[in-house]
Every structure is written in C-alpha cells, then in structure tokens.
Amino acid sequence: MKIIVLTGAGISAESGVPTFRDSDGLWEGHRVEDVATPQAYDAQPSVVHRFYDARRAALAVVEPNPAHHALARLEEVLGDDLLVVTQNIDDLHERAGSTRVLHMHGELRSALCRACGRRTPWTGDLGGLPPCPHCGASELRPDVVWFGEVPYGMAEIQDALAAADLFVSIGTSGAVYPAAGFVQYAAMHGARTLELNLQPSEGSHYFHEARHGRAGELVPAWVESLVP
C-alpha cells in the first residue's frame, strides 16, 4: 500500500512550535507580509533575518512528539511506500527518524543562496550575512517558500498523490493552496482519503473519513491500526 501523508502546523504545535498565523492574524507578533514575502526581504532584510534566525534558534528547545514518532515508525515498515509531505519548516520529522520527507515550504535549517541558487544545511544565524560555502557571495536568505513563490517538489508530490492508495492529512487548516487541493487530486486518482485534525478543516468534507482530536493521540492510534 502506497501512502502519502501531508502534515501541517497542527502536528508541530503539539511540540510547542508556534503556529503560523495565530488567532490574532499575526505570526509571533509580525504581520505575515512583513516577514514572509520576497518584497519584505528586499525592503528590510535585517528584520526578516532576525525573525527567521530566532525561529531557527528556537528549534533547539522543541522535541518531536508521539505523532512524529509514529510516522517514523510507519516509514520503518513501509519504506519507500510512504512519503511525508510537510508544510512545516521545522525538522521535527527528521529528528523523529523519518527520512522520506519533502518540505514543500522549505526548511529553517537550510540557507538558499540568491547568487548561485544552491541550498546549504544551516543551523546558525544568517543575519550577519555570512558567505555562501559554494560561491562566496554574502547572499544567503532563509530557505523558506514565501508568499508569491513556488513550493518545492510539486511535480514529485503530484506523482505521489496520483500513485497513492491512501492520502492522510494531519494537522492542516485546509485553507492554504496548493496543499488544500491535494485531497481532491488524490481522490480523483483513486486514493482513499483520511483527515486527522484537531477540528474539522475547511476542506473536511472532501475526505472519505475524518477523525478529530490531538495529533499526538490520533496519529499513533492510526499507525497502530495499520502496523500493529
């Protein structure tokens, strides 16, 4: 059985990672358009660097939760038949042991060079404008996909959705495209679809089945039902 899992902010929130867009519409006190657009970076790179440097540093104090660990265990059994596509930019899936993870919105622990286009694993700050290890230019930006930019891996994701027997969406609002359209695309190609979310998402009615509650409880129970 081929399974594709989409994860969103809800799974990381249970590890203490602040969710993108809180109820007040702000992200850690910032307007999204001030920190998550190419225009914001061009206008005030130091503000944008400070924001992502703080979030990158904050990863050191969070840990994967039982939902991340359950998905890593599922990969141990399914191997290449499981792909985790995440909207999250933290590295909690990898730290739980998952290796087949596609970060469609980029990664905090990666830097993208605007001069040469190369991506480099990065755990420190970028605000001091360090040189790119590949080309030497001081043009490293956060390797995250901002509003108005194209997500990573869309072709690979579409192929995996089309080939999947089961599509599972975990902890996503169902509000942000293109990810919000994955459920319909997968179902159109014959996959069964399951939502595991704290509350019904905006696209909940598109799923064959939905279970609502904490990811840290729902995901281990679901994995246990597949691979006892």
Cα-based torsion angle of the residue sequence 189, 193, 199, 200 in order, rounded to the nearest 10 degrees: 50
Least spacing, CB of residue 119 vs Zn ion, in Å: 10
The residue assigned the tokens 């399951």 is 194
Binding characters for Zn ion, 136-155, by CB under 5 A (x = yes): --------------------
Answer yes or no: 105 catalytic. yes
Map the footprint of Zn ion across residues 120-139, applying CB under 5 A.
132, 134-135
Task: Choose, by CB under 5 A, the member of 47, 62, 78, 115 that binds Zn ion.
Answer: 115
Residue 26 in contact with Zn ion, rule: CB under 5 A: no
> Which of 49, 105, 134, 208 is labelled catalytic?
105
From the number of C-beta atoms within 10 Å of its C-beta (0-12, 13-18, 19+), residue 155 rates as: exposed
Q: Cβ contacts of residue 155 below 8 Å, gap of 6+?
A: none
Residue 113 in contact with Zn ion, rule: CB under 5 A: yes
Least spacing, CB of residue 104 vs Zn ion, in Å: 23
Q: How far apart are CA 88 and CA 96, in angstroms?
A: 14
Residue pair 81/2 in contact (Cβ under 8 Å)? The answer is: yes
Q: Which residues are catalytic?
A: 105
The residues that touch Zn ion, with contacts defined as CB under 5 A, are 113, 115-116, 132, 134-135
